[in-house]
Amino acid sequence: MSKGKVLIVDDDEVCRLYFGDLLSREGYSVNICDDGLQAIQRFNMDRPDVVLMDVRMPNISGNKTLKMMKDIDCKVPVVMMSAYTTVDVVVNCMKLGAENMLKKPGDIEKVIRVIDNAIKNSRIESAQANGEEIMNNICKEEEKEK
């Protein structure tokens, strides 16, 4: 059984294949895209549990793609990565809704840990939201019975 679906978005083929192979061996189901437009299409067709995306890409930047993904579904965690991590880059990504920011190529163990945590946190938030909805429905039913 898969640990979750990861969408990897990077214009660098070596990075795409590296992270794809790494996460596949860790038990994740992986989809790979080489630009923001392709990533948005894939995001709409097959919603991932987490996105791992480069900041700097041609045509549509990672930041613009991040914003579009968050407009579509703000609950899907997006982990940004860049070889050029400055304070401004990190702050901008976080303001746009990134879950985390990683330096490329980065520590393999950290990448796996960040992906694991992003999925776990997202699932916990979803379960809590579902629990609250169930409790609200129970309360409404009890009110109707009175």
**In the chain, domain spans:** 5-145
Q: What tens digit of pLDDT does each residue of 89-105 get?
A: 888 889 999 989 998 87
0.75 cut: is pTM over it? yes
Is the bond preceding residue 48 a cis peptide, omega within 30 degrees?
A: no
- Under DSSP, the state recorded for 51 is E
Write down the residue that tokens 């987490």 correspond to: 50
Q: Is the pLDDT of residue 139 over 80?
A: no
Q: What tens digit of pLDDT does each residue of 53-70 get?
A: 999 998 899 999 999 999
Residue 90 has a pLDDT of 86
CA 54 to chain centre: 12
Four-residue CA torsion sign, 86, 89, 94, 95: positive
Residues 6+ apart with CB under 8 A from 29: 2, 4, 5, 6
Write the class of the CATH domain 5-145: alpha beta
Q: Could you tell me if 53 and 78 are in contact, meaning their C-beta atoms sit under 8 angstroms apart?
A: yes
Distance CA 59, CA 49 (A): 25
